[in-house]
Amino acid sequence: MSTLRFNIRLLSLIMLLAVLAGSCVTRNRCAKYFPPSIIKTDSVKVTVLDHVRDTVIRIASDSSWIQYLVECDSSRRATITELMHYKQGQRAQLPQVSLHNNVLTADCHCDSARIHAILKDREKIVDNRSSETITPPPVEVKYIPGWMWFFGITGMISWGAIVVLVIFALLKRKI
C-alpha cells in the first residue's frame, strides 16, 4: 500500500511540474526569443545596349575660281596676259591654269565632299529592385493547446491507473 501512495504522489508531482513548466512561456517572451523573420533582397541589373549605325556627314559645297585675260597675237596664238580676279575656297585650292598650243587647262584640287562614319550609341540601363518579405508569426488557430492535451492524456492514464488499482484492491479484499 505504501508503494501505491508513493506512486500516486510521484505521479501528481510529475503532473504539477509539467503544469509549472508549461506556464513559464508567455506570448511576449516567445515573440522576444523567436521574432518574425524578415528577408530583404536587393538586386541591381545593369544592361548596356550598343547601337551601331552608319551615317554620312555631308560637307557644304566649296568652290574657287580665277579669271585671266587671254589675248591672241597675229599668228593666232593665245597667251595669258594678266590675272584679273580670283577667289580661293575653304577646301578648294586655286586652280592651276596652263595654256599650251592654244589649249587652256585648269586643274583644281578639292577634298572629298562626304565622310562616311560609323557611330556607336551606348545606352546604359540600371534596374534597381528591392523586395522585403516578412513572414509573420503563425496565426493563432482555435485548437486545444498542448497543455490541455497533456492533461487530458495524463488524466486518462491516471484515472485508468486509479480504476485498475481500485479493482486490484477490491479483488484482494474479497480473496
- The string of DSSP codes covering 99-115 is EETTEEEEE-----SEE
Pairing mode of beta strands 114-135, 103-107: unpaired
Residue 75 has pLDDT above 70, yes or no: yes
Mean pLDDT of 139-167: 81
- pLDDT (tens digit per residue) in 105-120: 888 777 666 676 777 8
Gyration radius of the chain over CA positions: 56
Q: What are phi and psi of 100, to 5 degrees?
A: -130, 125
Which residues, 6+ apart, have CB-to-CB distance to 114 below 8 Å? 56, 57, 58, 59
- Average pLDDT over the chain, rounded to an integer: 78
Cβ atoms 53, 119 nearer than 8 A: yes
For 102, left (φ over 0), alpha (ψ -120 to 50), or beta? left
pLDDT band (50, 70, 90) for residue 1: low
pLDDT band (50, 70, 90) for residue 90: confident
For 164, left (φ over 0), alpha (ψ -120 to 50), or beta? alpha
Nearest to 46 by CA among 123, 158, 104: 123
